[in-house]
Amino acid sequence: MPDDDVRETAETQAEHASAGLAPAAARDWLELQRVLAWEPEAVGSRLREGTAPREILNALRGQLELPGSDSRRERRGPDSGSDARSRRMARLESLGLRVVPLTDPAYPEPLAALVDAPPVLLVRGRVPILRTPAIAIVGARAATRCARETARSLARELASAGLTIVSGLARGIDAEAHRGALEAKGRTIGVLACGLDQIYPPEHRGLAEEMAESGAVISEMPLGVPPRPAHFPLRNRIISGLCLGVIVVEARRRSGSLITVRHALGQGREVFVVPGSIDGPFAEGTNQLLRDGARPICCARDVIEDLGFRASFDHGDGGSEASSASGPIASTVESRILLALEDGPVTRDELLGQVGCGGAELASGLIELELSGRILMERDGRIHAKWR
């Protein structure tokens, strides 16, 4: 990837300075990632105990450098050594990447709670986006036209409602989900199954560039690691782990999207399914999920209402429905948002300046107000209050 293609704006660089780990302090974390990216449980348990990256490397490296481990070493990418480490640091800086370790406050909380959480994430784009409320949209690579349009429409509407759209940047449904979020001027995160220095599939390089402007492209893989079949199931646990739930739009019986569903169920996430035609094999997997008890949806509102029920329940209010529009305002951020909307509709950027909070906190307040029916987010990006 040419350096000119990855040069960031001054605004993006300023935002990076406030989140994630600066490249100059990243050497130990990058070495930990290179050697131990495929041992997330062993590394994570030690990091949570407060063990430093270098100490973990010294403790675990000998256990992994065993005869017959050539394939494991090959997956890690470039060799160790000071020259190789310097080259990785230079590449990291030229690509404008951020290093976000498991112990960093910028690391997404839902993902950090997993026993197999990635020890290190490499991020291109806006690091604070990782901590915003998110929903995954996944499905077939060779999707029908109807399914692609459905995925794009769902992503557009859910992004307009304040949710971050997460997917795997793959062909078909994944790409349409990312594009729908961008059309709504919303946030989207792409999770790669290779190093961030090689976008896969290559024809989505331009899409990844656009996503990094308002969202992020991330990977747990070290730089230099190519996409391999074994990496995609690992990638899928991150897609579901970042999110409140997973939406599946068209999947065959043996689709890789069903691996994401299994991860989601194991992580306690909601699974939503768009019903498909019973003619032909294209929706056999999704229709089977419905038979197994997954939640069918017909529009974005179905997802928002169901997530609103979960939010109400998780907050311990004892209710089985989303908060009504006439209920109390629970957050001072929400109160400030409504106050800012009294003079009429505003954009998200204008709200950010008026409310006086971080982007993640604003996004959380907006989604709570949207779920409770107090505000409406238009497709042109404006937000206005609803009184009823």
Q: So what's the pLDDT on residue 34?
A: 87
* Residue 318 placed within a domain: no
Same domain, 344 and 281: no
Per the structure block, which two tokens stand in for 64? Answer: 């992994």
Query: Does residue 27 fall inside a structural domain?
Result: yes
Instruction: Look at 60-69, 118-127, 321-330, 379-388 and tell me which has the smallest mean pLDDT.
Output: 321-330
- pLDDT tens-place string over residues 170-191: 999 999 999 999 999 999 999 9
Tens-digit pLDDT profile for residues 198-219: 898 999 999 999 999 989 999 9
Of 179, 135, 159, 150, nearest in space to 251 by CA: 150
In a domain, 291, yes or no: yes
- Evaluate whether 191 touches 239 at the Cβ level (below 8 Å): yes
Q: Please say whether the beta carbons of 205 and 197 come within 8 A.
A: no
Q: 329 exposed, middle or buried (CB, 10 Å; 0-12, 13-18, 19+)? A: middle
273 plus 328 within the same structural domain: no
- Do residues 117 and 180 both lie within one domain? yes
93 and 146 in a common domain? yes
Same domain, 205 and 246: yes
Instruction: Tell me which of 300, 335, 352 is where a domain ends.
Output: 300
- By mean pLDDT, which of 54-63, 160-169, 301-310, 337-346 is the weakest? 301-310
Q: Is residue 52 included in any domain, yes or no?
A: yes
In 3D space, the residue among 326, 309, 364, 366 whose CA is nearest the CA of residue 375 turns out to be 366
Instruction: Tell me whether residue 230 is in a domain.
Output: yes
- Output DSSP code: residue 168: -
pLDDT digits (tens, 9 = 90+) for 106-145: 899 899 999 999 999 999 999 989 989 999 999 988 888 9
pLDDT over 80 at 323, yes or no: no
CATH number of the domain residue 12 falls in = 3.40.50.450
Domain-located, residue 310: no
Same domain? For 285 and 329 the reply is: no
Q: What is the DSSP letter of 114?
A: S
Pair 64, 141 in one domain:
yes
C-beta atoms surrounding 109 within 10 Å: 10
Strands 188-191 and 346-347: unpaired
**CATH code of the domain covering residue 345:** 1.10.10.10
Alpha-carbon Rg of the chain, whole angstroms? 21
247 and 122 share one domain: yes
Highest mean pLDDT among 24-38, 74-88, 159-173, 242-256: 159-173
- The partner residues of 93 in beta bridges, in order of sequence, read none
375 and 236 within one domain: no
Instruction: Mark whether 278 and 359 lie in a shared domain.
Output: no
Model pLDDT, residue 332: 64
The encoded tokens of residue 164 equal 């971050």
Number of domains in the chain: 2
372 lies in which domain range?
323-385
Q: Is residue 258 part of a domain?
A: yes
Asked whether residue 307 is domain-assigned, the answer is no
**Pairwise CA distance, residues 156 & 188, whole Å:** 10
Tokens 């209710």 appear where?
A: 319
Q: Are 145 and 282 in the same domain? A: yes
Asked if residue 250 lies in contact with residue 139, where contact means CB atoms within 8 angstroms, the answer is: yes
Question: What was the pLDDT predicted at 78?
Answer: 46
Indicate whether 254 and 374 sit together in one domain. no
Q: Which of 266, 300, 334 is the last residue of a domain?
A: 300
**Domain ends where: 267, 300, 333?**
300
